[in-house]
Amino acid sequence: MTPDIHIHTHGAVGHLSLNRPKAIHALTLDMCRAMTVALQDWAKNDAVRAIILDHAEGRGFCAGGDITLLRRSALEDGGAEGRSFFAVEYRLNHLMFTYDKPIAAFMDGVTMGGGVGIALPSRYRIATERTRFAMPETGIGLICDVGGGWYLPRLPGRLGQFIGLTGARLDGAECLWAGIATHYMASDRLAEAKARIIADPDDIGAILDDCAQTAPPPRIAGNMEPINRLFAADEYETILDALTEDDGEWAQKELATLSSKSPTSCKAVLRQLQIGAEAADFAANMTMEYRAAGRILTRPDFAEGVRALLVDKDNDPHWQPATAAGVSTDDIEALFAPLPAQDEWKPL
């Protein structure tokens, strides 16, 4: 058992509480394994009727996955350890997505990357005034994995494409409006909600409904017209052209944002969301993401993106290729090609 996650039961409620505050509870391999074992055990235990997922302390729910491990793997072992991490993490995501018992994820604070992967498959997803939701992978040369290919294209309009490309952060009210969250409540009411769930887990939905509060107006709703218009294409160059031709302040701000992202990742994310939108089920989506994530991990942009963001912290990544025009359709399609049968991802 790892100290980075607290696993216990309160009567008929299983409780998973992330406990890695210095890393904003970013998921390690051991944390993913421990959560998987606990959920499998509780699935077979009739005495456990609901699950609470939260974080023990600190300023965020979960900031992502173990980027340090992934970068080391990309540089040292050709991505082998990284692919092993993805396989375990994605099986946890799928287990949660298909879980029979209700899981309530309390998305209080930073909820990004790998944190999205464990929050969104939960039946109940509670946002607060402190929620900061994002899929920022294009800034480090990855795709929006952990289920992003399933969730993002199913958001209103072209919001998913916008979020996936720009890494835009949504607050709690915006998460509720978009359907990312099922409930919104002030952070100072979370303890009450959890205590009531523990006292009566069979009434979890009604309890959360009762504790929920009216969210502030969602700012993102006012931007949906330009999002739907300017991010309408599935071709990255077409989106860049649309933003360039629009001299409005919002369009120019988003164009500047995209100029800092990996062109390879941006093209890969658009293709990922196309494939994910057509996936027969969540497992098919995760199979697709495993292929692409394992391959893009070893492209130059990932190690470079993490260097610029977390190692040297100069925020000046040098992408290869440096422009969208330099990334061919064949380059992108190769990321999503089937793996040898023995190497394909499979759910538990």
pLDDT in tens, 180-209: 999 999 999 999 999 999 999 999 999 999
On the question of a cis peptide bond just before residue 321, with omega within 30 degrees of 0, the verdict is yes
Q: 82: closest CA among 92, 69, 93?
A: 69
Residues 135 and 152: beta-carbon distance below 8 Å:
yes
**What does the pLDDT read at residue 81?**
97
| Beta-bridge partner residues of 51 | 14, 103
In a domain, 283, yes or no: yes
Euclidean distance between CA atoms 97 and 120, whole angstroms: 8
CATH number (domain holding residue 339):
3.90.226.10
Euclidean distance between CA atoms 219 and 209, whole angstroms: 23
Q: Which two tokens stand for residue 191?
A: 């303890």
Q: Which helix (H) or strand (E) holds 105?
A: strand 103-107
Residues 291 and 339: beta-carbon distance below 8 Å:
yes
Q: Which residues of 6-36 are buried (b: 16+ CB within 10 A; e: fewer)?
A: bbebeebbbbbbbbbeebbbbbbbebbbbbb
**What does the pLDDT read at residue 58?**
73
Residues 264 and 141: beta-carbon distance below 8 Å:
yes
- Secondary structure letter of residue 52 according to DSSP: E
Residues with catalytic roles = 65, 114, 137, 145
State the burial class of residue 337 (Cβ atoms within 10 Å of its Cβ: 0-12, 13-18, 19+). Answer: exposed
Q: Which helix (H) or strand (E) holds 13?
A: strand 13-18
In a domain, 348, yes or no: no
Dihedral sign, Cα of residue 91, residue 97, residue 98, residue 104: positive
Residues 228 and 243: beta-carbon distance below 8 Å:
no
**What does the pLDDT read at residue 57?**
82
Euclidean distance between CA atoms 136 and 115, whole angstroms: 12
- Rounded to two decimals, what is the model's pTM? 0.97
**What does the pLDDT read at residue 59?**
79
In a domain, 138, yes or no: yes
Residues 224 and 156: beta-carbon distance below 8 Å:
yes
Q: 118: closest CA among 211, 23, 26, 1?
A: 26
Whole domain around residue 78: which residue ranges? 5-343
Consecutive 10-residue averages of pLDDT for the chain (348 residues): 93 97 96 98 98 91 95 96 98 98 98 98 98 98 98 98 98 98 97 98 98 98 98 98 97 98 98 98 98 98 96 96 98 98 98
Condensed to tens digits (0 to 9), the pLDDT of residues 238-250 reads 999 999 999 999 9
In a domain, 100, yes or no: yes
**What does the pLDDT read at residue 247?**
93
Query: For residues 331, 336, 338 and 342, what is the CA-based torsion angle, rounded to 10 degrees?
Result: 110
In a domain, 78, yes or no: yes
In a domain, 42, yes or no: yes
Residues 97 and 91: beta-carbon distance below 8 Å:
no
Domain total in the chain: 1
Euclidean distance between CA atoms 211 and 207, whole angstroms: 6
Q: 271: closest CA among 337, 179, 227, 343?
A: 337
